[in-house]
Structure 1
């Protein structure tokens, strides 16, 4: 039933709208045509007036030639003749357009009179030229030919012709303006008539449609308000019109589902409350860890600032001192450049360490793997550090009969061995030995660096591989060595661990998988 009501109302409204749009379109079209015709008529009237003014100025200049000689105003005469010809062309073109638009009855004589006017102008100009060429000896006032030209041809024939053209075009303008006024009056009355006819229908139709739709909408609103308030026992009546039956059934089904979901929600809220409390405890613990990390970050910024300031200060000081000297030998310059180079190398090493850690965190650590025997790499590092610490006892122990080559980055693994050896030598007594032991396992190789120092406390072991962490009681280093070692080993799919007891030294163990274990791993990242 509601569909029929809406369809009927829509059809009537569409019909009224189409009538209004059609009337507006016709009115706009007629108005545009009349305005175009009015513009053409105004232009023609303006051209006739301009032609009259230009023609009289030309006659005056031609008369001056009779009085003062043929060459007196030739340039001005030619200019006025050109203007007259152009004006006649425009008049003729506009009259053709006007006749097509208004018809021959309204524009009777326009094109024909213009041609006669053009011929008259030509005759007058030719007559002036002929009189000037004859150069008669008797006085000008006695020449009947000139008198006839000025009084009869110009004052009578030309004046009447141009006045007739202006009067005719004025009538055309008046006729067009009258048509526009009549059209505007008709449009106003048609608009008033349409408003009077359609206004009451639209008002009554809207009132009828509103009353027809309001009652079921009120019922639906009361039902949705009850559901929104949480009354899931409410049910909408099934007595509404057929158009609303599907909506009523859907809403009633929705209420039943909401009642079920509410019961489940109660149970879920209890569970959620418990999980939120548990998660809150976890987040509190994580926040504590983040606070600790932030504290270490702040400490690192302070340490790195100090570490950067020292070499930069030395570089600046060496340069300033050298520049202040008036005369220096080559040795002095070399000494200064050597000091600056040492500090620059130290800065470069610090920047390289930071870049390595950052790239490792971003999974962009670039490795250049090649087949290398781990025992040879360790032995080379042991020999190098033995030369640096000649007074220390550094031993390398391994009993591997058939050692396989590992597909590793030789320089990076050598860097790890150097870090572990340097830490072992730094944090142990000068008379205690340091041992490096290599073992072969089922899936790879493990080497360990052992010292007999003071050991590492359990609290320090938990965070020793984190960045910026330094062992208690030590004042040197930035705490980057072990994090770098861990990043390099993990990039090789390996692992690094520490075992230590307070007062019994420490052992760092590194596991590297064999080629068979990591053949399919992409360890060359970049």
Structure 2
């Protein structure tokens, strides 16, 4: 089992690291001890040198004081206190050396050190008492005697030469310092060799374990990785072949079992998804059809309301105009009242027909109209529409005028619905009147052109910009000039007129500006309807009826 072998190797490596750490701790402590011993030896040497230097300065002070060349008592006390402090430091260092085992390793050296410290301590006490009692020389005192006395105080103590004693102590401490430094260097070298050796041993052991486990783990890890990639790519039929009874074989068997289970789930999910997608497609199609039906219903509803508002405005205005004209002024003959009422009845009948059309358009498309097919003399429907438009023209202050041509056209017969044709012509006249300026004029002309009956309705009104001409027959479109001239309006008149023309097999076109080449303004509507086969005439002709005077 890989786990057991790996655990064993890790335990061995941990034990080796622990041993290395213990050895390092021991080596570090030994090195620290050697370094401290070297520091003690160095400090002892330094204090002996400082003591010798301070003793020489104190002797110089005594000489100056005796010859009267200076030497303040404060400086003397400072030098004496310094020598005493240096001796106390040397005594403490000697005790430290004894504590660290230096006395046992070099007993003669330590005994000499203690003896020197004892003699120097006694000498410093004598020096302190002597220099405090020292007075400047007088002429009666012999200088040689004073010098000998001063030399005896500074150079002799307990019958021993202090200079030689200090020199021997300095030499002895130098040797001790060199010895301790060499011992510290040797300890550091041993510690370095121990670290390098143990580090190499651990590195070789780790390398050997890495090579062994690398070879042992390469094949099962690659097999597991290949299996995982295959599962990630959806290859659920892939199986990992790792025989044996170790951790990797157990993992391979688990992954193979997981692949089997995933493949079964995939098959079930695929079947469920196909059923769900079919159901969703069916429901989506139903919803789409329902949504389209609702949108068409809503669009027809809104169009019906707009068409009702537009289509009922013109007949209502005509009825009001007829009534106002009839009521204007004094009493009239009964025949005039009957004519006015007859016109109002005609307008009302046409209004009822318009309402029927609006209801039909709401149920189907806008282009669908109920058109009765019969021969109709177009001149009669034009005159009826002119009669109905007269009241609207008077209200707007616009004159309706036939183009002044002398010849009389023959009857122009078309095959269609008389009431629809009246409605179509009235829409063209209504559009020209509403978008003319007050005091303007609307010209009309009926003629035969290229085998068809052609009606022209031309105004001097606001005109249509060239870039908006292709859109004028779109439902609810109103040009910028139209909106500025007249805020109200639904943009349905021209689309309905064109639909009526097409229902009769004809065409409706607009030209603006009019006349052609004008700087601005003016629009001309050109309606063409196919003549009935019984109709005769191919040359251009005008309606022969005299100018009715409608203005």
Which has the larger Rg?
2
Give the TM-score of the pair, scaled to structure 1. Answer: 0.46
Give the TM-score of the pair, scaled to structure 2. Answer: 0.45
